[in-house]
Amino acid sequence: MSSRYNPQDAEPKWRDAWRQNDLFKAKHPSDAGDMPKAYILEMFPYPSGRLHMGHVRNYAMGDVVSRHKKAKGYNVLHPMGWDAFGMPAENAAMEKGVHPGEWTYQNIAAMKAQFEELGLSLDWSREFATCDVEYYGEQQRLFLKFLEHGLVYRKASKVNWDPVDQTVLANEQVIDGRGWRSGAPVEQRELTQWFFRITDYAEDLLEKLKELDRWPDKVRVMQENWIGRSEGLQMRFEWVEGQALPASADPAGLEIYTTRPDTLYGASFIALSPDHPLTIALAENDEALQSFRETCAQIGTSEVDIEKAEKLGFDTGLRVADPVKPGKTLPVWVANFVLMGYGTGAIFACPAHDQRDFDFARKYGLPILPVVRPSIPGSPGDKSGTQSDSDSDQSWIESGLGEDMSGAYVGPGTIMNSADWDGLAIAEAKPRAIAEIAARGLGEGTTNFRLRDWGVSRQRYWGTPIPVIHCDECGVVPVPVEDLPVKLPDDVSFDKPGNPLAHHPTWKHVACPKCGTPAHRETDTLDTFNDSSWYFARFASANDPAERAYWLPVDQYVGGIEHAVLHLLYSRFFMRAMRDVGEVDLPSGEPFAGLFTQGMVTHETYKTGNGRWVSPDQIELRDGVMVEIDTGLPVTVGAVEKMSKSKRNTVDPKAIIATYGADAARWFVLSDSPPERDVEWTEAGVEGAARFLQRVWSLVDAVAESGPGADTNEATALDVRRTAHKSTHAIDTAIDEFRFNSAIAAMHEWVNQLKKTEGKGADAARSEAADMLIGCLTPFMPHLAEACWQRLGHEGFVSATAWPDIDPAMLVDDTVTLPIQVNGKRRAEISVAKTASPDAIEAQALAEPALQSHIEGKAIKKVIVVPGRIVNIVVA
RNA sequence: GCCCGCGUGGUGGAAUUGGUAGACACGAGGGACUUAAAAUCCCUUUCCUGUAUAGGAGUGCCGGUUCAAGUCCGGCCGCGGGCACCA
């Protein structure tokens, strides 16, 4: 008996058995009967070639959910594939001379083997890689459909250029002014690029966020901010007559956008973006302005200290009429802080109530005219609640002169110095201003979004070729659908910087599909975020197109928070676009009904005295001092950080699985920390998990040994049964709510109880409980669970067995223990029948001997009885 | 600067949404078994009152609401994340 469980022997055996029985294949809708469907998906991995702990945690979570749903009777789809296009393959080609495709497929094979070792309940029948020609060919077909429906267009624009990867980046892919992958400072370049009209959907993408109630608020807020809706006024400032305007300028006036029409009376000047068409036109005949534009462009690319970037301006000498002060005119400046990409690229400046305008006005000696009086504290509209600390420097209210202001006032208040608008609250003045300007035909209320169209052209080889042909005669010609896929050529070289497709001697030379004259292919490929924007729809229909509508949307998506904006926003756009071109039947356009973003796996870091990082398996304790094993040098323990190669604090899952088994690794990454938070990997932690594994095994062994038998101790048996049902219920809901750490704690407690009741006359109850325990354990430690299931004498797989039945009668106790408080302090506890009336409870509580010293001789003012919870006696 | 989120033992964290704070685990200490070790098992482990059947304090800080606050409200402090010249 009491053998030890050996994961190294048992785990591969069970995985083989699952595979042979095709246990995790999703049922075709026509075979599913009335089973509800559950599409569980983890963000598919990039095939780097090796698994890391972050993967283990991500896929373990998805697997728990997936196995749980299966046990609960759902028809589960839990597929896996590979996000296989991208730069690392090209880097490998450049460094090692391997073809990106070969490198990628080798990595996939290696990684798939490691994935299989985790014992995940995956339906591999739908596997694909995004670099499979079948996949990217389909993606090309989608592109052409988008093009046909006007969802794709080409335009020349300033783009973010990554000088290391030598390619364009979307705005979403620029983080802190650096390329999201290369980390290199991004430069601005003018290129002709393909764009997706994601802004067409801005309103809907924002609006529908509200309905994604199974998404983390955090992600919704991030997307909301990213889309960045603002309401304001777009209006025209008319030119002062008799000025020499460039030919291209609109004689009617200058269009600006503002969200503060209420401050129109505080207008001091107009500011144009350096990239505004009017600025460019003026610069053609003005060298000083041209050099000013160049200065701005340089600062624009340095990015890093943009915060400190000084306000720079250039007076064009032009003037416009002040729309609310007849006879008054305003100067037109070019200002480096005005962005061409937002609104109209021109603003009216109200220095008194905008900090940027204020800084600019101070620097160039422009007027500052306050038009908002701060709210009186405590009055309606005042949100500060306390004495405003700006009181001290508000002498400008009395003086009416902005020169006294120490900074722009942007808080709540009432309008002043604004003729008829005086006395209005800001919120009242805005619509009033818009209405008045509109009535005069000078503008109208508009909504603006921060979101820009998605630039998808990339100057890379290892991606989906954009299926169009450029013809001198016909212009841009889509590749005819029957000529798809446009395959990537295999014979490419990476010895030159830039795009290998553009360098290829023959690939791009084709005849124009329309006129037959020599033409050339587009050599740009699609941003790889395209690949991941619809792969989940492909999984759904991998075996039968008709399944797509059945499986979508994904019921539960699991992945990293780093995709909060990029991947998740693009996917939401893609589903809407695919819906609108008839490629997917998904009315809401929402691909992911539920989303969970998991935390990272972290580890302590170690450094030698000279600052060299040391890996965890290279250190040991010698005489109480941490040293590097090879050199004996002392090592200091640093911060706990995300596992990364550069910090050398990674732990290889392969080694962990070889030592402790997949179950222990899975168990540990899910225990202790809540799944959305980071978990610190520790050796002691895995050892604890491995210990628990053995504990379960020895428990099951003992239960199997003594057999079901009979219960001789009624009370203990009832206890055992109650715990079993309560625990099963607790674990059930904890899994549904992504509280895996709580589920694990419940299993620990349960096992502890079953251990303690060995030989206590509850064999029958313990035997039932053990069956239930193994059922609950299965999603977490599937291999061990199978072994235990077999040891307990069951046929078949526990992985294919229904979730244990919960008897509601077992969830409530006959008697409950109630704490008794006196004036809110706990003084005693009593045991009462579940059904006891509040009066009976009160009587029993007041009679409790342990309480007497606290209530004796005191007047009882009130007794609060909350049945099943607490009794509180209030005494004088 | 703006927008989110979070502050609980030595550590990771529980606490049924206002009702016994510290479940569970890690670590630490003590003990049993053993020739010994490993493994396993048992006990202790928020702080203070030298002892505790007992009492007091306690969930970042200050105040409030309530019979009752880790949980709700107001104000501070600290940490983490996102956005960042978006008019």
User: And the tokens for A167?
Assistant: 């390619």
Q: Smallest CA–C1' separation from A225: which nucleotide?
A: B83
In whole angstroms, give the CA distance from residue A493 to residue A488.
13
Report the C-alpha gap between A349 and A596 in whole angstroms: 43
Hey, what amino acid is at A747? Answer: M
| Interface predicted TM-score of the whole assembly (ipTM), two decimals | 0.94
When pLDDT is averaged across residues A517-536 and rounded to a whole number, the result is: 96
Least Cα distance to A738 among A219, A57, A37, A65 occurs for: A65
CA of A118 to C1' of B80 (A): 32
Which nucleotide has the shortest C1'-to-CA distance from A752?
A: B24
The CA–C1' separation of A849 and B19, in angstroms, is 22
In the predicted structure, residue A646 carries a pLDDT above the cut 90? no
Q: Which nucleotide across the nucleic acid strands is nearest to A386, CA versus C1'? A: B75
What is the secondary structure of A271-314 as a DSSP string?
EE-TTSHHHHHHHTT-HHHHHHHHHHHHHHHH-TTTTTPPP-EE
Q: How far is the CA of A217 from the C1' of B26 (A)?
A: 31
Burial class (CB in 10 A: 0-12, 13-18, 19+), A228: middle
**Nearest nt (C1') to A685 (CA)?**
B26
CA A573/CA A483 separation, integer angstroms: 27
Q: Which two tokens stand for residue A506?
A: 């023959």
Nearest nt to the CA of A359 via C1' is B85
Alpha helices by DSSP H, A707-821 = 714-736, 740-756, 763-777, 782-791
Report the protein residue whose CA lies nearest the C1' of nucleotide B6: A677
| CA–C1' gap, A284 and B80, in angstroms | 49
The C1' atom of B72 and the CA atom of A353 lie apart, in whole Å, by 36
Distance CA A284, CA A332 (A): 17
Rounded to two decimals, the pTM is 0.92
- The whole-number average pLDDT for the span A356-370 is 91
Measured CA to C1', the nucleotide nearest A599 is B81
Query: Looking at the DSSP assignment, which residues form a beta bridge with residue A332?
Result: A270
For residue range A263-290, list pLDDT tens digits in order. 999 999 999 999 999 999 999 999 999 9
Q: Give the pLDDT score at A197.
A: 95
- Judged against a pLDDT cut of 70, whether residue A381 lies above it is answered with no
Which nucleotide is nearest, taking the CA of residue A699 and each C1'? B40
At A409, which helix (H) or strand (E)? none
pLDDT at A304 > cutoff 60: no
pLDDT at A224: 92
Per-residue pLDDT at A296 exceeds 90? no
Residues with Cβ within 8 Å of A163's Cβ and at least 6 positions away in sequence, in order, are A184, A185, A186, A187
A 10 A CB-CB count for A143 gives 26
Q: Which is higher by pLDDT, A129 or A241?
A: A129
Phi, psi values for residue A354, rounded to 5°:
-150, 125
Residue nearest to nucleotide B53 (CA to C1'): A850
* CA/C1' separation A468–B85 (Å): 38
pLDDT 10s digits, A483-511: 999 999 999 988 877 789 998 999 999 99
C-beta atoms surrounding A811 within 10 Å? 13
A698: the nucleotide nearest its CA (via C1') is B40
Lowest-confidence range among A162-171, A172-181, A360-369, A553-562?
A172-181
Residue with tokens 């050199």: A631
Residue A393 confidence class, pLDDT cut points 50, 70, 90: low
Residue closest to sugar C1' of B85 by CA = A337
Measuring from the CA of residue A233 to each C1' atom, give the nucleotide at the shortest distance.
Answer: B87
Q: Which residue is nearest to nucleotide B84 (CA to C1')?
A: A307
Q: Tell me, in Å, how far CA of A386 is from C1' of B63? A: 14
Segment A782-789 mean pLDDT:
97
Higher pLDDT, A401 or A836: A836
What is the DSSP code string of A810-852? GGS-SEEEEEEEETTEEEEEEEEETT--HHHHHHHHHH-GGGH
The answer to whether the beta carbons of residues A431 and A498 sit under 8 Å apart is no
Structure tokens at A185: 């400072």
CA distance A751 to A749: 5
* Residue A742 one-letter amino acid: S
Angle between helices A662-670 and A653-660 (to 10 degrees): 110
Contacts of A391 (CB under 8 A, 6+ apart): none
- CA-wise closest residue to A670 among A60, A82, A41, A173: A60
pLDDT at A300 over 60: no
- The three-point CA angle A310-A313-A318 to 5° equals 165
Among residues A411, A412, A500, A410, the alpha carbon closest in space to that of A94 is found at: A500
CA distances from A863 to A95, A823, A876 (A): 79, 10, 12
Answer yes or no: is pLDDT of A862 > 80. Answer: yes
Helices A763-777, A782-791: crossing angle, 10 deg rounding: 150
Reply yes or no on whether the pLDDT at A349 is more than 60.
Answer: yes
pLDDT in the model for residue A612: 84
pLDDT of residue A624: 66
pLDDT, averaged across chain A: 89
Nearest nucleotide over every DNA/RNA strand to the A751 CA, judged by C1': B24
Q: Which nucleotides of B are covered by protein (CB under 7 A)?
A: 3-5, 12-16, 19-21, 23-27, 39-42, 55-57, 67-69, 74-76, 81-87
Given its phi and psi angles, is residue A210 left (phi above 0), alpha (psi -120 to 50 degrees) or beta?
Answer: alpha
Residue A636 CA to residue A604 CA, distance in Å, equals 10
Protein-to-nucleotide distance from the CA of A875 to the C1' of B15, whole angstroms: 28
pLDDT, tens digit, 9 for 90 and up, residues A791-801: 999 999 999 99
Q: Looking up tokens 């924002």, which residue turns up?
A: A206
Q: A50-61 in b/e burial notation, b at 16+ Cβ within 10 A?
A: ebbbbbbbbbbb
Dihedral angle sign, alpha carbons of residues A105, A106, A109, A112: negative
Q: How far apart are CA A741 and CA A739, in angstroms?
A: 5
pLDDT at A119 over 60: yes
Res A386 pLDDT > 50: no
With 90 as the cut, is the pLDDT of residue A47 above it?
Answer: yes
Q: How far is CA A735 from the centre of its chain?
A: 21
**pLDDT tens-digit readout, A227-238:** 999 999 999 999
d(CA A76, CA A64): 12
Strands A860-866 and A625-628: unpaired
- Residue A505 CA distance to nucleotide B49 C1' (Å): 89
CA of A51 to C1' of B87 (A): 47
The pair of three-digit structure tokens given for residue A120, joined into one six-digit string? 């995940």
**Integer distance in angstroms from CA A538 to C1' B58?**
56
CB A452 within 8 A of CB A199: yes
Rounded distance in angstroms from the CA atom of residue A191 to the C1' atom of nucleotide B72: 56
The band of A379, judged by pLDDT with boundaries at 50, 70 and 90, is: very low
Q: What is the pLDDT of residue A277?
A: 94
A108-112, A467-471, A615-619: least confident range: A615-619
Q: Which nucleotide is nearest to A684 (CA to C1')?
A: B26
Q: Once rounded to an integer, what is the mean pLDDT over residues A460-472?
A: 95
Q: Which of A162-166, A512-516, A859-863 has the lowest mean pLDDT?
A: A162-166
Give the CA A661 to C1' B86 distance in Å. 52
**Whole-number distance in Å between A488 CA and B10 C1':** 59
Give CA–CA dist A31/A29, Å, rounded. Answer: 5
> How many Å does it take to go from CA A576 to C1' B40?
60
Q: What is the pLDDT of residues A67-89, one digit of tens each?
A: 999 999 999 999 999 999 998 89
Is the peptide bond between A480 and the residue preceding it cis, with omega within 30 degrees of 0? no
- pLDDT higher than 70, residue A403: yes
At residue A256, the 3 state secondary structure works out as: strand
- Place A165 in a pLDDT band, splitting at 50, 70 and 90: confident
